[in-house]
Amino acid sequence: MRRILVLLLGLGAVGLPAQSLKDFAAQMGAQLFWEPYRGQLLISGPQHRLAVDLTTGLALGDEQTNFELPSLVPATGVLGPEDFGRLVAWWKDQPTPVVVPPDSRPEQKTDAVPSAEPRVQVIVLDAGHGGTDPGSTGRHVIDGKTVVLKEKDLTLAVVLELQKLLVQAYPGRTIVLTRKNDSYPTLEQRVQIADSQKLSEKESILFLSVHFNASLSKKAKGIELWYVPQNYEREVIAGGDIPESMFPVLNTLVDSEYKKESRELAVQLAKGLAKELGDSNEQRGLKENPWFVVRMARMPAVLAELGFITNLEEATLMTDPEYLKKLAHGLYTGLVSFIQAYEEHS
């Protein structure tokens, strides 16, 4: 998630009689990741890992196997046949390639391939509305009493319970709340909290915004899960050291990845809620819309609408603290399922 897939590496070298690192990864059944902090391309597969500096042509494989790739065309990932063959031979554990002595490499490259596996390190939970913004309001007569429900109170109750579950399940990870009480961070501040989280290499982040729905039709009911539309273009990476000619391609690839993961997260959240709520669950499906918080967060992001506060049946359920805990448990189950799948297949 916090990675840049360089699926089109070598795009600027069309016509060269050579193969690219993209071709190498495809032939070896490996994945490509762009590491913007070090300006390196990471190639990861079941057998080996390799980090390549596209500027210097230096590469570091697992077990401290080091290569010089003199034929590497800077910033393109295109290799000459001899260097390409050396990498293939090493990856397939064939005759040992020429190894560059460690002291001939820049010292800072020795940690290019991390030992840690990819993992979701940070989860940002956003309780919608708050403070002077109550969100949607529902007024109903329940058991002979007039009850007024405010969306800001319900979202905070669910998020605080969800935080508790995640902290217990993932004690070594960071669970961030955009608000912990009846305060009102602006939409910009909520996104800034998410986008400012510091991550190490191989660490990723998720964003979940919790809301309750409302409608002029009192019959409207059910849960909705929203994410950014596939055709909505946005900028999700910083330029940094990325060549200007490659930035649009890389940004599109990262954005596409975030959108794909956002949808999968929404799918798992829907399954988790259905499992937890059982017969009381009614889902209106997965939906696309560029809501501010999900389109501005530079990470996989989902906005959950957990029922209609204007519907008497659902509002009656919302007055029960145990039902709000069930909603939190459903979201928790979905998050855990997504995280497990992501970490197993990254």
pLDDT at 239: 63
Q: Is the pLDDT of residue 83 over 90?
A: no
CA 327 to chain centre: 22
- Angle of helix 151-169 versus helix 321-345 axis, rounded to 10: 50
Residue found under tokens 């290799």: 79
Residue with tokens 């649009």: 248
pLDDT computed for residue 1 by the predictor: 57
- Distance of alpha carbon 324 from alpha carbon 329, whole angstroms: 9
> Quick one: pLDDT at residue 14?
37
Look at the block and give the residue holding tokens 């596209």.
54
For the residues 149-169, what does the mean pLDDT come to?
A: 97
pTM of the model: 0.69
Whether residue 145 is predicted with pLDDT greater than 80 in this model: the reply is: yes
Q: Per-residue pLDDT for 4 more than 80?
A: no
Confidence of residue 255 (pLDDT cuts 50, 70, 90): confident
pLDDT at 152: 97
Of the chain, the percentage scoring pLDDT greater than 70 comes to: 82
Sheet with 203-213: list strands edge to edge: 174-177, 119-127, 203-213, 301-308, 223-227, 283-288
- Residues 178-228: tens digit of each pLDDT: 999 999 999 999 999 999 998 887 899 999 999 999 999 999 999 999 999
Can you give the pLDDT at residue 7?
A: 34
pLDDT at 182: 96
- Asked whether the predicted pLDDT for residue 108 surpasses 70, the reply is no
**How much is the pLDDT for 73?**
78
The class of domain 11-111 in CATH terms is: alpha beta
pLDDT for 104 equals: 34
Q: Which of 212, 198, 155 is nearest to 180 (CA)?
A: 155
**Domain-wise residue ranges, the chain:** 11-111, 119-345
Top pLDDT among 273 and 19 is at 273
Amino acid 143: pLDDT:
92
CATH for 119-345 is 3.40.630.40
Give the model's pLDDT for residue 242: 65
If you average pLDDT over residues 272-281, what whole number do you get? 88
Beta partners for 148?
139
Residue 319 confidence class, pLDDT cut points 50, 70, 90? very high
Backbone phi and psi for residue 9, each to the nearest 5 degrees, phi listed first: -60, 140
Q: What's the confidence (pLDDT) of residue 50?
A: 81
Report whether pLDDT(75) > 70. Answer: no
At 26, the pLDDT band (50, 70, 90 cuts) reads confident
Phi, psi angle pair for 305, to nearest 5°: -105, 110
The two three-digit tokens of residue 3, written as one number = 């990675």
Asked if residue 312 has pLDDT above 90, the reply is yes
Whole-angstrom Cα distance, residue 111 to residue 109? Answer: 6
